[in-house]
């Protein structure tokens, strides 16, 4: 599933590519992905100009010139690929096309989704604050304002949680999923099953540093294409070769002589090195 570095990569690219463009036409092949009536959806977007793109947690916000915003969640396998008018389409652009937006200059945005869990919603821009308040999302981890004290305060509210689950819950911190929670905990040398209440202050500091460092580095390399993710230009994210534990079960640890193991925590996988990350 795309996490903060992947969604933020797409946001930055699409903001550069789409801001100022006018939506001329839309083709919806899978109506269930659009969470409003198609008549209403078309009425809102056709003829509207793209103002800018924002993001909250893993949700992309396309702000339109007419007071509406489109919210897009890519969920497990969604892709947004932008192609200029004369740009040749790649095979991947044509697969699982559920929505295609045409802009007045002939460029297009393809919303593809193999597993079809993603969605598009429309919310009045001045109601966005209310919308996200209801979602009860935790802070944005890369915000400059998000400090160690804030992180420690959120941890204190969930003493019994296991740290891996804690990191992946968007109500604690937004945008961290399976990949980066594994990598953050490997960086901090903390076992994924470690209970929040048992963390010492230097361990909390290390996890906090890991959050900032791992997410920023992954963002610089346009995220990780471990399976379905491609950026908005149809390119793979380059952070995969930097992953230390995620997806490396049975392989040698990159730090010690141990082997990476995988365990299940309420249906999700955690990858870790049992030598570097002792419980
Ligand atoms: Zn190790």
Respond yes or no: is residue 268 known to be catalytic. yes
**Is the same domain home to 267 and 174?**
yes
**Is the same domain home to 160 and 123?**
no
In a domain, 142, yes or no: no
Looking at the predicted structure, is the pLDDT value of residue 266 above 90? no
In a domain, 179, yes or no: yes
Section 184-193 average pLDDT: 98
Summarize pLDDT for 136-185 with one digit per residue, the tens.
999 999 999 999 999 999 999 999 999 999 999 999 999 999 999 999 99
pLDDT at 1: 86
Summarize pLDDT for 213-246 with one digit per residue, the tens.
999 999 999 999 988 899 999 999 999 999 999 9
Q: Which of 158, 213, 233, 268 is catalytic?
A: 268
In a domain, 279, yes or no: no
Q: How many angstroms is it from 141 CA to the middle of ligand 1?
A: 26
In a domain, 247, yes or no: yes
pTM: 0.96
Identify whether the C-beta of residue 33 lies closer than 8 Å to the C-beta of residue 116.
yes
**Is the same domain home to 124 and 170?**
no
How far apart, in Å, are the Cα atoms of 56 and each of 22, 72, 98, 129, 159? 24, 11, 23, 11, 26
- Domain termination residue (choose one: 84, 110, 135): 135
Q: What percent of the chain has pLDDT over 90?
A: 92
Respond yes or no: is residue 195 known to be catalytic. no
Query: For residue 182, what is the enclosing H or E element?
Result: helix 178-188
**Is the same domain home to 222 and 266?**
yes
**Residue 53's domain is classified under what CATH number?**
3.20.190.10
**Is the same domain home to 191 and 230?**
yes
Q: Which of 21, 56, 58, 244 is catalytic?
A: 58
Count of domains in the chain? 2
Rounded to the nearest integer, the mean pLDDT of the chain is 96
**Is the same domain home to 116 and 187?**
no
Beta bridge partners of 124: 68
Q: How many angstroms is it from 128 CA to the middle of ligand 1?
A: 44
**Residues 6-44, buried b or exposed e (16+ Cβ, 10 A)?**
bbbbbbbbbbebbeebebbebebeeeebbeeeeeebeeb
- Domain termination residue (choose one: 135, 168, 189): 135
pLDDT at 228: 85
**Residue 204's domain is classified under what CATH number?**
1.10.8.50
The residue segments making up the domain with residue 123 are: 4-135
**Is the same domain home to 106 and 30?**
yes
In a domain, 116, yes or no: yes
**Is the same domain home to 131 and 154?**
no
- Domain termination residue (choose one: 135, 163, 198): 135
**Is the same domain home to 12 and 106?**
yes
**Is the same domain home to 56 and 80?**
yes
Q: Where does the pLDDT of residue 69 fall: very low under 50, low under 70, confident under 90, or very high at 90 and above?
A: very high
**Is the same domain home to 209 and 236?**
yes
Q: How many angstroms is it from 278 CA to the middle of ligand 1?
A: 10
């Amino acid at each position: 599933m795309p996490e903060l570095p992947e969604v933020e990569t797409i946001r930055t690219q699409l903001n550069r590519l789409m801001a100022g463009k006018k939506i001329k036409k839309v083709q919806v092949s899978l109506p269930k992905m659009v969470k409003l009536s198609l008549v209403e959806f078309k009425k809102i977007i056709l003829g509207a100009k793209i103002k800018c793109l924002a993001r909250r947690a893993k949700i992309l916000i396309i702000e339109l010139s007419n007071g509406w915003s489109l919210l897009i969640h890519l969920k497990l396998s969604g892709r947004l690929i932008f192609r200029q008018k004369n740009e040749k389409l790649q095979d991947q652009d044509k697969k699982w096309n559920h929505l295609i937006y045409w802009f007045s200059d002939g460029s297009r945005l393809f919303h593809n989704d193999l597993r079809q869990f993603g969605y598009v919603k429309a919310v009045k821009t001045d109601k966005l604050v209310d919308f996200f308040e209801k979602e009860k999302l935790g802070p944005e981890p890369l915000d400059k304002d998000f400090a160690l004290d804030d992180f420690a305060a959120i941890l204190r509210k969930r003493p019994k949680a296991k740290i891996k689950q804690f990191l992946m819950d968007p109500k604690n911190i937004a945008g961290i999923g399976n990949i980066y929670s594994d990598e953050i905990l490997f960086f901090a040398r903390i076992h994924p099953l470690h209970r929040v209440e048992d963390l010492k202050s230097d361990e909390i500091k290390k996890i906090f540093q890991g959050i900032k460092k791992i997410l920023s580095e992954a963002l610089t390399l346009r995220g990780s294409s471990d399976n379905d993710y491609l950026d908005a230009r149809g390119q793979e994210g380059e952070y995969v070769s930097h992953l230390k534990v995620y997806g490396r079960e049975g392989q040698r640890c990159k730090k010690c002589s141990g082997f990476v193991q995988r365990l299940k925590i309420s249906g999700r996988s955690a990858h870790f090195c049992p030598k570097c990350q002792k419980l």
